[in-house]
Amino acid sequence: MSDNNNQALKQTPLHALHLQHGGKMVAFAGYELPVHYQEGIIAEHLHTRKEAGLFDVSHMGQLILRGDNVAAALETLVAGDIQQLAADKLRYTVLTNDNGGIIDDLIVTNHASHLHLVVNASRKELDYNHIASKLQGRCTLEERHDRALLALQGPAAAAVMARMAPACRHILFMTAQPLKVAGVPCLVSRSGYSGEDGYEISVPADDVEHVARLFLGEPEVKPIGLGARDTLRLEAGLCLYGNDINETTTPVEAGLSWTVSRRRRAEGGFPGADVIVAQISDGVKRKRVGLRIAGKAPVRAQAEVMDNDSNIIGEVTSGGYGPSVGGPVAMGYVDVADAQPGSEIKFMVRGKLLPGRVEKLPFVKHRYVTR
Amino acid sequence: MTIKYTKEHEWLRVEGNIGTVGISDYAQEQLGDIVFVELPEITKKIIKSDTVAVVESVKAASEIYAPVGGEICEVNQALEDNPEKVNAAAMDGGWFFKLEINNIDDLDDLMDEATYKEYVEGLE
């Protein structure tokens, strides 16, 4: 299966496994990946929130950054606090541009001797070139093509992990642990993109099929495709780069000011810091919000959001069906005057105005294990 | 009752001058879980190949085209509360709408069961 340009799609090391499990393969960020398996998106989504789902996220970029004062070096490119990120801890942060826009959102893990970055597949080449060129001479950047990435998400994930990796410590959310899973040295972090408890596991590419099969052999675990990955994160109010955040959205507009610590606000030293700090103190013109649709028709990205007088007040950036919510949900940017939860709004869909309202995110409560 | 198919995977069953339209089992499988169906208004006049309905799966919206021209006389209300019926029973209970056909010649280029089966096999 190839895309319209006839450029061959890349495959992850789990390609054969996806086909064996009846994966419906589609093109995503230059990769051939399953949008769902035999049960379909809704069943896979519900299973993840009920038990545990295993996701192949090997298309994402895993980058290793090394150097003297590597944390200080990375801070010149991201808005987050990396210097005070303790060893074995993870942080969600953003690479910014000179306008305060977001180049990518990423997870940074402090492994003492180096930083481990996980970046979006659609941005990894750009991120690599950006970081490598900006930090040239100061740090070395390596993409780990030899590593795959699995995500195990859901309330049963911890029990499964305890069985699969008996040396597993009870690590809390946003903490990493090097761990042997079925004898294979992996890097396990308690993190994810579903709003549920769970783990992300960096596995040597040569061993990931074996490890994935073992996880899938556990009674609670089913394979989950990209379709459910998207419905889970949408319900959890998590951003998708390219939809909800991009080079024209600042972290403040996106509701991600919390990623900019007090110290970084005071000290700056990252691209667009002046714009971002001004927005934090003076406010923004538009905000990313949750959008609830009154009826049953889904409202999708790029639909216009209007007020009750039919003025355009915003745009949907992500939208679709939420299986746990049992109806359509969306996220988008709305003029700050209309961005209060409960504000009544309308969506333009196929020439009709559909009613809805602004709603606080997330649509489904997060169940991270933070204590 | 003979069944006819379009290249866009709609099916048509004709009884007298009333046609019932749905989407094929192949189509519902390709679409995945269906979460919403937008049906036409009764008495709407349509011509062959008009967009008559919209079916929303989890990922995307797809248009349903009229296999023949006519006037909408009934829609499947059950799909409002249970759009998943299209997945479960695409060939019968998941029908979309009925219409009074106004030009029987519109059926001429539709595929019969065997031809449609071959057509689908060619797509896979």
Instruction: Give A-chain residues touching B83 at CB under 8 angstroms.
Output: 296
For chain A, say whether B56 makes contact (Cβ under 8 Å): yes
Question: Does the distance separating the beta carbons of B32 and A36 come in below 8 Å?
Answer: yes
Report DSSP state, residue A245.
Answer: B
pTM attached to this predicted model: 0.96
DSSP 3-state assignment of A119? strand
For chain A, say whether B38 makes contact (Cβ under 8 Å): yes
Let me know if B118 is exposed, middle or buried by CB neighbors in 10 A (0-12, 13-18, 19+): exposed
Beta bridge partners of B36: B56
Mean pLDDT of chain B: 96
Instruction: Give B-chain residues touching A26 at CB under 8 angstroms.
Output: none
Tell me how long chain B is.
124
pLDDT tens digit at each of 371 positions of chain A? 444 454 699 999 999 999 999 999 999 999 999 999 999 999 999 999 999 999 999 999 999 999 999 999 999 999 999 999 999 999 999 999 999 999 999 999 999 999 999 999 999 999 999 999 999 999 999 999 999 999 999 999 999 999 999 888 899 999 999 999 989 999 999 999 999 999 999 999 999 999 999 999 999 999 999 999 999 999 999 999 999 999 999 999 999 999 999 999 999 999 999 999 999 999 999 999 999 999 999 999 999 999 999 999 999 999 999 999 999 999 999 999 999 999 999 999 999 999 999 999 999 999 999 99
Round to whole Å and give the CA distance between A334 and A312. Answer: 9
Report DSSP state, residue A85.
Answer: P
How confident is the model at residue A3, as a pLDDT? 44
Round to whole Å and give the CA distance between B40 and B54. Answer: 9
Residues 6+ apart with CB under 8 A from A40: B32, B33
pLDDT confidence bin for B1, thresholds 50/70/90: confident
